A and B are shown apart, each in its own frame.
Chain A
Amino acid sequence: MADTTVAPAYGPTEWDEVEHMPTSTGLSNVKITMWAFLGSECLLFGSLISTYLLDRNKPDLIPGSGPKASTLFDIPFTSVSSFVLLMSSMTMVLAVSAIARGNQERTRLWLATTAALGATFIAGQVYEFTVFYREGLGYTTNISGSAFFTLTGFHGIHVTLGIVMLATLWYLSKAGHLTRENAESVEIVGLYWHFVDIVWVVIFTVVYLIP
């Protein structure tokens, strides 16, 4: 059908010689995806935090329904573990900076430090949950317990996943797979890690500190 003498509307151009088409925004696909995903996560944690705020004082209305989560908070202890988590954001920045300079050993050092700080935070959370449980607040005890454990549990799962990602990056670097070309993975995991930290800052402020 097509007349061979007619040139196609969209014929060959210089773009066909390009090995990898540049992206329209100049940002990589993975980075846009991560930012979009984090935007979605804001709503996820927003719903969880709102629910906790709605339900935190409900046990007051029901006599004999066990302690509220807010009466059990150990602010000095949680402050320390929050500080640990915040410091991990700094070491994460150092890891991103190290890989940008191509320094694999420093990268691994800071990745491992970040993961260790995150693990310390999780250990603190496990300890906190255990104490609360011993003091009479189980998951099903009352509505404040359900809301508190679900909110902090969701955050804890996010931190744990972050630790697994950091460990993977550490391994990739050790095995020599973390080259300058894919150094962006460290930055992407960093974005996720900072986000999880920022969420904790909000949770710590809104849930723990505001009476």
Chain B
Amino acid sequence: MAIVEEEPRLLELTAPETVVVPADRGTGVFARPAAQTGWRSWLFTVDHKKIGIMYGAVAMLWFFVGGVEALLVRTQLATPNGTVLSANLYNQLFTMHGITMVFLVIMPLTAAFMNFMVPLMIGARDVAFPRINALGLWLFVFGGVFLNISWLTSGAPDCGWFCYAPNSGLSFSPGNGVDYYSLGLLIAGIGSMVGSVNLITTILNMRAPGMNLMKMPIFVWMTLVVQFLLLFSLPVITIALVFLSLDRLFGANFFNVKAGADPLLWQHLFWIFGHPEVYILILPSFGIVSETLPVFSRKPLFGYPFVAFSGVAIGFMGFGVWAHHMFASGLGPVSVAAFSLTTMFIAVPTGVKILNWVGTMWGGNIRFTVPMMFSVSLVAMFTIGGLSGVMHAMAAADTQQTDSYFIVAHFHYVLFGGALMGLFGGMYYWWPKIFGHRLNERLGKWHFWLVLIGFNLTFGPMHILGLQGLPRRTYRYGPGLGFDFWNLVATIGAYIILVGMLVFAYNILRSRKTMPPAGADPWDGRTIEWSIPSPAPEHNFDYVPVVTQIDDFWHHKYQKNAEGELVQIARGDDIAQAGDQHPHLPSPSYWPLVLAAGFPLIGFGLIYNLALAFVGLGLILIAIYGWAMEPSTAPGGESHPVEDSPATDDGDGEAVDTSVEDAEDHSVAESISDPEEAPVG
């Protein structure tokens, strides 16, 4: 079988050979965590599947918090002159609703699927750097908790999710809310950053033999694009947030208008990050529906290369449209015209994708399962949101619509109707692979219809409200202005969404008890994650899968007969791997958790007392220490993905900070006496 396309090039310079370490104690400070079950096995895990599940679970908790915030806002706005919330609390609620939904719900939900599914879809046993993966998770968790602790202090941030300068400065936002905003997002941002280099390396370097880039599932393609977007956009917001923190905490002058600062600097930096960010939020869902639509239409994806490359094109062009968020700020006609044009252009690759999805379904043998319904609704709802986006590309129209409810309607149609619908579809689709059983279809359909109807009732009327002139971010409106009826409808819609989400929660709990085991291949899937048992075994693949074409697993089940017709030759459940080989031991570690815990300490320290910041810094140094000295694979473990050398362990070179002293400390008492035990990797 001429399946291996490239000569195997064995690296001469991979990091460790076998790391021999006496007894259970590594060269680290503590004995390694060894629990296979119970909460410890989750807290210290480096398994990409457990990390993915935790991303998802924590994101759903924040989804509840962000949803309650949204419902409070909608309750306040249900009637004219609402009295539920004060203006101040209203500002905090819509700000935290936006931050929560963007950074603590959709991004981690996409991260959940990427972490869980990407290694399975490319035939790898884990990601490139499992411990860095765990670090990313814990930084997201601590960043989210840090942000929300602001509720307990002088007040949550109240400057909107983009927190424009100089409104974010000390004179207009004297409390600590904005400090929590900037430092919390920095912490979560570092988490996304380490996650992005990890996933890029995983996808570029750990694909199964034969799986070249043009044979990857589209979800993996979109993950790759998203991680590159994160890689290049996060440093810009990092600098903006650092400026903001330095201004507020150390008296720098970056946004100090009295010192001649240009507040537009913040807008530029924020949106250079912020516009790629919206593609970071939507592209994973595009990837998910590009997986589900072919499966439930029983047809290959229409125009695979177009879907892949239009995703790449969106990624590139996404960096060239940021100023369309700033048309109202007086950029001047040349800039406005240029960004107006690029914004219209970026609708083209998006339209290509929609055309391809419709082409995939066209003439297909469609099964309307719940994941399919969510996927189709993404195509429809995103098209509505995309069209109002093109309206905003015309600067003349945009200056009328900006800061009105029309904008609110637009971005909820793309983020809720687009990103979130796709993610729900992904949950129903991959639930059996993750938990071993499907979700109940009947309850799922209730969930789908309630959410779809509630969503359209909530955000559809906002188009009308916006065009009638209702500005966003106003905590009340007077009676008799024509805003009453549609606001009430929107609020009713929001509560219908709540009911839908409660059905979803009930479905999760009930299906866990009542649904039978799903088998390896419950949907007649096309990609190789369905060729292993459900739930995915700890070592993922018994044998290294060798891939020859797109939708490789499907072609193991269906082949052409003598008449050239495709016929089924095997059932997926029968030819799936048994999951009984390679008792692959994970090598859990304390250090990612300890390292991540140092960051919120630095955050609190910067706000309240610098001494605490040094405690946090010390904790981080100790953790980097322990991390670098700990071999990536515990003694007795099976071959684990080759981990990194200590010099670059956390991707920014901090890993080695103190390992010199550490090694000295332990070379006496501990086990570094033999070059064979080099603590590398």
A is bound by B? yes
On A, residues with C-beta under 8 Å from B are 1-3, 6-13, 15-16, 18-30, 32-34, 36-37, 39-41, 43-44, 46-48, 51, 54-55, 58-59, 61-62, 65, 139-140, 142-143, 145-147, 150, 161-162, 164-165, 167-169, 171-172, 175-177, 179, 181-185, 187-189, 192
- Across the interface, name the chain A residue whose C-beta is closest to B231: A40
- Across the interface, name the chain B residue whose C-beta is closest to A158: B653
Contacts of B681 in A (CB 8 A): 182
CA distance A32 to B202 in the complex (A): 10
B198–A33 CB distance below 8 A: yes
Contacts of B204 in A (CB 8 A): 24-25, 32
Indicate whether A8 sits within 8 Å of B11 (C-beta atoms), given known contacts A43-B232, A54-B262, A189-B648. no
Contact for A24 among B206, B645, B658, CB less than 8 A: B206
Closest Cβ of chain A to B205, distance in Å, is 4
CA distance A51 to B678 in the complex (A): 44
B542–A8 CB distance below 8 A: yes
Question: Which of B83-91, B248-256, B437-445, B502-510 contacts the other chain?
Answer: B248-256
B232–A189 CB distance below 8 A: no
Interface band, chain B: 35 or more
Contacts of A44 in B (CB 8 A): 235-236, 238-239
B259–A1 CB distance below 8 A: no
Judge if B609 is at the interface, Cβ distance under 8 Å.
no
- Across the interface, name the chain A residue whose C-beta is closest to B571: A6
Indicate whether A6 sits within 8 Å of B11 (C-beta atoms), given known contacts A1-B519, A33-B197. no
Contacts of B253 in A (CB 8 A): 140, 142-143, 145-146
Indicate whether A61 sits within 8 Å of B260 (C-beta atoms), given known contacts A29-B644, A192-B648. yes
3 closest residue pairs by CB, A with B: A58-B260, A44-B235, A177-B678
CA distance A36 to B652 in the complex (A): 10
Closest Cβ of chain B to A148, distance in Å, is 11
Judge if B665 is at the interface, Cβ distance under 8 Å.
no
B648–A33 CB distance below 8 A: yes
Residues 151-168 (chain B) with a chain A CB within 8 angstroms: none
CA distance A114 to B551 in the complex (A): 51
Q: Can you name 27 A-B pairs with beta carbons within 8 Å?
A: A2-B576, A2-B578, A6-B570, A8-B542, A8-B578, A9-B575, A13-B544, A15-B543, A15-B544, A22-B10, A33-B128, A33-B129, A33-B200, A47-B235, A51-B239, A62-B259, A65-B259, A65-B260, A146-B253, A165-B653, A169-B647, A177-B678, A182-B680, A184-B13, A185-B646, A185-B680, A189-B648
CA distance A43 to B233 in the complex (A): 8
B260–A143 CB distance below 8 A: yes
CA distance A48 to B238 in the complex (A): 11
CA distance A182 to B681 in the complex (A): 9
B201–A176 CB distance below 8 A: no
B197–A177 CB distance below 8 A: no
CA distance A169 to B657 in the complex (A): 11
Indicate whether A20 sits within 8 Å of B642 (C-beta atoms), given known contacts A6-B570, A161-B657. yes
A6–B644 CB distance below 8 A: no
- Most chain B CB within 10 A, of A6, A33, A44, A147, is at A33
Closest Cβ of chain A to B273, distance in Å, is 9
B647–A177 CB distance below 8 A: no
A179–B544 CB distance below 8 A: no
A26–B9 CB distance below 8 A: yes
Contacts of A28 in B (CB 8 A): 11, 13-15, 642
Contacts of A33 in B (CB 8 A): 128-129, 197-198, 200-201, 644, 648, 651
A8–B197 CB distance below 8 A: no
CA distance A142 to B254 in the complex (A): 9
Judge if B541 is at the interface, Cβ distance under 8 Å.
yes
- Per-position 1/0 for B1-22, Cβ under 8 A of A: 0000000111111111100000
Contact for A2 among B198, B544, B574, CB less than 8 A: B574
- Most chain A CB within 10 A, of B12, B246, B574, is at B574
CA distance A122 to B327 in the complex (A): 43
B544–A16 CB distance below 8 A: yes
Contacts of B211 in A (CB 8 A): 24
CA distance A94 to B542 in the complex (A): 45
B201–A32 CB distance below 8 A: yes
Judge if B434 is at the interface, Cβ distance under 8 Å.
no
Contacts of B647 in A (CB 8 A): 165, 168-169, 185, 188-189
Closest Cβ of chain A to B297, distance in Å, is 22
- Across the interface, name the chain A residue whose C-beta is closest to B11: A28
Contact for A7 among B575, B644, B678, CB less than 8 A: B575
Closest Cβ of chain A to B199, distance in Å, is 10
A23–B205 CB distance below 8 A: yes
Judge if B420 is at the interface, Cβ distance under 8 Å.
no
B14–A181 CB distance below 8 A: yes
A147–B645 CB distance below 8 A: no
Q: In terms of DSSP, what is the predominant structure of the interface of chain A?
A: helix
A167–B644 CB distance below 8 A: no
Closest Cβ of chain A to B262, distance in Å, is 6
Judge if B465 is at the interface, Cβ distance under 8 Å.
no
A12–B207 CB distance below 8 A: no
CA distance A200 to B174 in the complex (A): 37
CA distance A150 to B245 in the complex (A): 12
A32–B653 CB distance below 8 A: no
Contacts of A47 in B (CB 8 A): 235-236, 239-240, 269
Contacts of B645 in A (CB 8 A): 30, 182, 184-185, 188
Contacts of A185 in B (CB 8 A): 15, 645-648, 680
Judge if B639 is at the interface, Cβ distance under 8 Å.
yes
Contacts of A32 in B (CB 8 A): 200-201, 204-205
Contacts of B256 in A (CB 8 A): 143
B239–A48 CB distance below 8 A: yes
Residues 622-681 (chain B) with a chain A CB within 8 angstroms: 639, 641-642, 644-648, 651-654, 656-660, 663, 667, 672, 675, 678-681
Contacts of A40 in B (CB 8 A): 193, 197, 231-232, 234-235
B246–A146 CB distance below 8 A: yes
A167–B660 CB distance below 8 A: yes
A10–B205 CB distance below 8 A: no
Contacts of B251 in A (CB 8 A): 139-140
Contacts of B415 in A (CB 8 A): none
- Per-position 1/0 for B178-198, Cβ under 8 A of A: 000000000000000100111
- Across the interface, name the chain B residue whose C-beta is closest to A41: B235
- Most chain A CB within 10 A, of B17, B205, B236, B574, is at B205
Indicate whether A161 sits within 8 Å of B659 (C-beta atoms), given known contacts A22-B9, A32-B200, A182-B645. no
CA distance A150 to B253 in the complex (A): 11
Closest Cβ of chain A to B265, distance in Å, is 6
Contacts of A19 in B (CB 8 A): 639
Contacts of A1 in B (CB 8 A): 519, 573-574
Contact for A20 among B11, B238, B519, B667, CB less than 8 A: B11
- Across the interface, name the chain B residue whose C-beta is closest to A145: B253
- Across the interface, name the chain B residue whose C-beta is closest to A45: B235
B663–A171 CB distance below 8 A: yes
A9–B553 CB distance below 8 A: yes
A168–B659 CB distance below 8 A: yes
A29–B129 CB distance below 8 A: yes
Judge if B531 is at the interface, Cβ distance under 8 Å.
yes
